[in-house]
Amino acid sequence: MESFSAIKKRMKSVNDISQMTNAMQLVSSAKMRRSQLLHESMYPFVSFCVESMQEMIRNNEHLDNPFFVLEQKQEGETWKIGYYVLSGDQGLAGAYNNNMVRITEDHVRTKILDNTRKNVATTYELNVFGRLAREKLIKNGYNVNSKFSFPITEPTYFDARQVSAIMRHRFLNGDFDLVYLLYTHMQSSIKMEPVALRLLPVDTKSISRVLPDQLDDAGMAMLSGADIQYFPNSGAVFNYLIDSYTNAMVYGAMVDAFASEQTARLTAMENATDNAEEMMKKLELMSNRARQAKITTELTEIVNGAQQAEKM
Q: Are residues 176 and 304 in the same domain?
A: no
The radius of gyration computed from the CA coordinates of the chain, to the nearest angstrom, equals 29
Does residue 59 sit within a domain? yes
For residue 80, the model assigns a pLDDT of 94
For residue 217, the model assigns a pLDDT of 45
The DSSP code sequence of 141-204 is T--B-TT--B--SS--HHHHHHHHHHHHHHHHTTS-SEEEEEEEEEEETTEEEEEEEEEETT-H
Coil, helix or strand at residue 79:
strand
The Cα–Cα gap between 66 and 179 comes to: 13
For residue 220, the model assigns a pLDDT of 41
Q: Are residues 155 and 210 in the same domain?
A: yes
Does residue 238 sit within a domain? yes
Q: Are residues 122 and 244 in the same domain?
A: yes
Does residue 60 sit within a domain? yes
Q: Are residues 18 and 32 in the same domain?
A: no
Q: Are residues 112 and 128 in the same domain?
A: yes
Q: Are residues 149 and 246 in the same domain?
A: yes
The Cα–Cα gap between 306 and 302 comes to: 6
For residue 122, the model assigns a pLDDT of 93
For residue 221, the model assigns a pLDDT of 44
Please list the rounded mean pLDDT of every run of 10 residues in the chain (312 residues). Answer: 72 77 75 75 78 75 76 88 90 83 94 92 92 90 88 82 92 93 80 86 73 49 57 76 88 87 82 79 77 74 70 63
The domain of 14 spans 4-22+278-311
Q: Are residues 15 and 124 in the same domain?
A: no
Does residue 137 sit within a domain? yes
Q: Are residues 159 and 291 in the same domain?
A: no
Q: Are residues 187 and 301 in the same domain?
A: no
Does residue 273 sit within a domain? no
The Cα–Cα gap between 215 and 197 comes to: 20
> Do 269 and 90 contact (CB within 8 A), yes or no?
no
Does residue 131 sit within a domain? yes
Q: Which sign does the torsion angle of CA 126, 129, 134, 136 carry?
A: negative
Q: What is the CATH number of the domain that holds 189?
A: 3.40.1380.10
For residue 123, the model assigns a pLDDT of 94
Numbers of helices and strands, H then E, in the chain = 6, 4
For residue 216, the model assigns a pLDDT of 45
Does residue 119 sit within a domain? yes
For residue 181, the model assigns a pLDDT of 92
Q: Are residues 123 and 161 in the same domain?
A: yes
Q: Are residues 195 and 284 in the same domain?
A: no
Q: Are residues 8 and 60 in the same domain?
A: no
pTM of the entire structure?
0.79
> Do 56 and 222 contact (CB within 8 A), yes or no?
no
The Cα–Cα gap between 80 and 177 comes to: 5
The shares of helix, strand and coil residues in the chain, as percent rounded to the nearest 5, are 60, 15, 25
> Could you give the angle at the alpha carbon of 19 between the alpha carbons of 17 and 22, nearest 5°?
105
Q: How many domains does the chain have?
A: 2
Does residue 136 sit within a domain? yes
